[in-house]
Chains A and B, each alone.
Chain A
C-alpha cells in the first residue's frame, strides 16, 4: 500500500519558472492538503480539498494554485516561482472522522534561486 506519493523529492527552480508538485493517494481519502514547512514556522497550510472539484485556501495560498479533478490526485502549481517559496512541501490526506490522522507524503525540498 503506497499511501501518499509525492514527487519530486528535490527541485531547483529559477525565479519566474513554473512547476507542478504531484501528489497522489491510494486510500480513497476525500480530504487532501498541501503544507509548507519553514524553520521556526511549523507547517503552514497552503490549500486543501474536501473532495473532487472542491478546493479552498489555507493560511498561505498566494503564489500557489491547486485543482482536484479526481479523488486520488491533488497537484500543487507554482505559476511564477519566487525565492520566498523556497521551502519543504508536504502533501497529506486523511479519512472523514474527527480523529482521523493525516497521512503525509515524504516531502519535496524546493529551492528557488
Chain B
C-alpha cells in the first residue's frame, strides 16, 4: 500500500534563507505523482508543486523546487528565500497511477515557522 512520511513535525527558518522539508514515500506502482500543498493559518489548501515519477527533471515553481530522488523514494520540498508569508503547514501527498483508485494520500505535515 502507498505510504507517505513527513518526519519533521515543526521547522524554523530565518527570513530570506532556504529551507528543505522532507518527504519520503513508499509504493509498488512504477507510475505515480507527488504533490506538495501549503495550508496557512486561514485553513485553505494551496497547491504548490507536482512531480511525476517519470519526469526527468526536478519540478520548479517560482521559489519552490522539488528535490526528487527516486532511488531513495524521497521528494523533498525546497523553499528558497523564505518569506514571513511562508509560515504554514506543508503537506506532501502521493497518488499512484494504477493502484488504489487514484486516491491522493497525505503525509502528517510539517509546520514551518519563518522568523524575521
Asked if A101 and B108 sit within 8 Å, CB to CB, the answer is no
Asked if B97 and A98 sit within 8 Å, CB to CB, the answer is yes
Asked if B103 and A42 sit within 8 Å, CB to CB, the answer is no
What are 18 A-B pairs at a CB distance below 8 A? Answer: A31-B102, A33-B103, A33-B104, A40-B108, A41-B108, A42-B91, A45-B105, A48-B101, A48-B103, A94-B104, A98-B31, A98-B32, A98-B33, A99-B33, A99-B52, A101-B47, A102-B104, A107-B44
Quick one: CB contact mask for B39-75 with A, threshold 8 Å, 1 for yes? 0000111010010100000000000000000000000
Asked if B43 and A88 sit within 8 Å, CB to CB, the answer is yes
Chain A residues near B9: list those with CB within 8 A: 40
A95 to chain B, nearest CB (A): 11
Closest to A94 in B: B104
Q: CA–CA, A59 to B45, complex, Å? A: 20
A104 close to chain B: CB less than 8 A: yes
Q: Chain A interface secondary structure, helix, strand, loop or mixed?
A: strand
Q: CA–CA, A113 to B107, complex, Å? A: 28
B103 to chain A, nearest CB (A): 6
Question: Interface residue tally of chain B, by bracket?
Answer: 20 to 34
Chain A residues near B103: list those with CB within 8 A: 33, 45, 48, 58
Asked if A56 and B44 sit within 8 Å, CB to CB, the answer is no
Instruction: Please name the 7 residue pairs, one residue from A and one from B, whose CB atoms are nearest each other, closest first.
Output: A104-B45, A43-B106, A42-B108, A101-B47, A42-B106, A98-B33, A42-B109
Q: CA–CA, A84 to B101, complex, Å? A: 27
Chain B residues near A27: list those with CB within 8 A: none
Chain B residues near A42: list those with CB within 8 A: 6, 91, 106-109
Quick one: CB contact mask for A25-52 with B, threshold 8 Å, 1 for yes? 0000001010100001111110010100
Chain A residues near B44: list those with CB within 8 A: 104, 106-107
Asked if A101 and B35 sit within 8 Å, CB to CB, the answer is yes
Given known A-B contacts A42-B91, A48-B103, A58-B103, A102 and B108 have beta carbons under 8 A apart: no
Chain B residues near A59: list those with CB within 8 A: 105
